[in-house]
Amino acid sequence: MPDLEFRRDLYHGAARDYDRYRLAYAPALTSDLARQCGADGSGRLLDLACGTGQLTFALQDRFAEVWAVDQEPDMIGVVREKAEAAGIGTIRCLVSAAEDLAAPGEWFDLVAAGSAFHRLPRETLAPRIFQWLRPGGCLALVWAAGPTDGDAPWQQAVSEAMRRWRARAGTEDRVPSGYDQDRAARPDRVILESSGFEFAGRQQVLASHEWTPGSLAGYLFGTSVLSRAALGDLAAEFSADIERAVHACDPSGRYPQPLNFAYELFRRPA
């Protein structure tokens, strides 16, 4: 089945908010991932669709070389800035669609895709990732819960506000039609196993976070469907509406959420 096509400018204008408001992966999860992959400081990591480097920076000290790749130039700009500010010289920052990346065969020990594999052309990429990995190397699909994962009244209010604002901003079509059916019909694991990967396990770590109205709006500004660029002049009104919506459920201004971070590991057979 052919891959669904996503717009390439989905995250245009979202990088600063993404970097500021996206929650870091639980350190226990990234440490466990590094251990499972046998990362000992000598290998190479490819962070595919890296955003502003949520996995790049969490894992960089366990690898000798890191490629941070994203198709959105602003995202890579932030990775470059942060690497320079931290004096890290081992990160190679590349603006490229994952499917256009030119990388040598059998080069990487770990390819990681954080909260991104579902937005990539999975059928096209699976055999390429397989080739980029050395035999015995790993692909990790890493996932994080977002603020609307849950059914607390404030979460339902945020989901409802998002629906209204996506309609108002005209971003309802940013996820191609048939997306949910496609993922159900072709789970990631099926696609990866048919390219030769072996499933090597799943790990999850539970954490918690307390949102405020401001951090909720900020998180949503970092998404592809409600970025400041997508909302344009409506951004301030949107932010005020999110605040109103959550206050109506709970005027405390504090919105706690149990969070689930997870990764699924796939191995290229040795």
Ligand X SMILES: C[S@@+](CC[C@H](N)C(=O)[O-])C[C@H]1O[C@@H](n2cnc3c(N)ncnc32)[C@H](O)[C@@H]1O
Cα angle for residues 30, 110, 5 (degrees, 5° grid): 95
In the bound state with ligand X, the residue whose beta carbon lies nearer, of 72 and 109, is: 72
Instruction: Rule CB under 6 A: say whether 220 interacts with ligand X.
Output: no
Instruction: Rule CB under 6 A: say whether 29 interacts with ligand X.
Output: no
Distance of CA 44 to the CA centre of its chain: 20
Interacting residues of 230 by C-beta distance below 8 A, sequence separation 6+: 13, 169, 171, 174, 224
- Cβ–Cβ < 8 Å for 38, 64: no
| Three-class secondary structure of residue 191 per DSSP | helix
Convert residues 133-172 into a mask of x (bound to ligand X by CB under 6 A) and - (unbound).
----------------------------------------
The residues in 97-136 that bind ligand X, with binding defined as CB under 6 A, are 97-99, 114-116, 119-120
Tell me the closest approach of the beta carbon of residue 98 to ligand X, in angstroms: 4
Q: Which of 22, 122, 228, 267 binds ligand X (CB under 6 A)?
A: 22
Query: Structure tokens of 194?
Result: 């048919």
Instruction: Rule CB under 6 A: say whether 75 interacts with ligand X.
Output: yes
Specify which residues 45 forms β-bridges with: 66, 110
In the bound state with ligand X, the residue whose beta carbon lies nearer, of 99 and 149, is: 99
Q: Which of 49, 93, 138, 220 binds ligand X (CB under 6 A)?
A: 49
CA distances from 118 to 47, 68, 75, 182, 256 (A): 15, 18, 18, 10, 27
In the bound state with ligand X, the residue whose beta carbon lies nearer, of 114 and 137, is: 114
Alpha helices by DSSP H, listed for the chain, are 15-21, 27-36, 54-59, 73-86, 122-132, 153-169, 179-185, 188-194, 213-221, 228-231, 235-249
Tell me the closest approach of the beta carbon of residue 250 to ligand X, in angstroms: 27
In the bound state with ligand X, the residue whose beta carbon lies nearer, of 250 and 260, is: 260
Which residue ranges make up the site for ligand X (CB under 6 A)?
Answer: 11, 22, 49-51, 54-55, 70-72, 75, 97-99, 114-116, 119-120
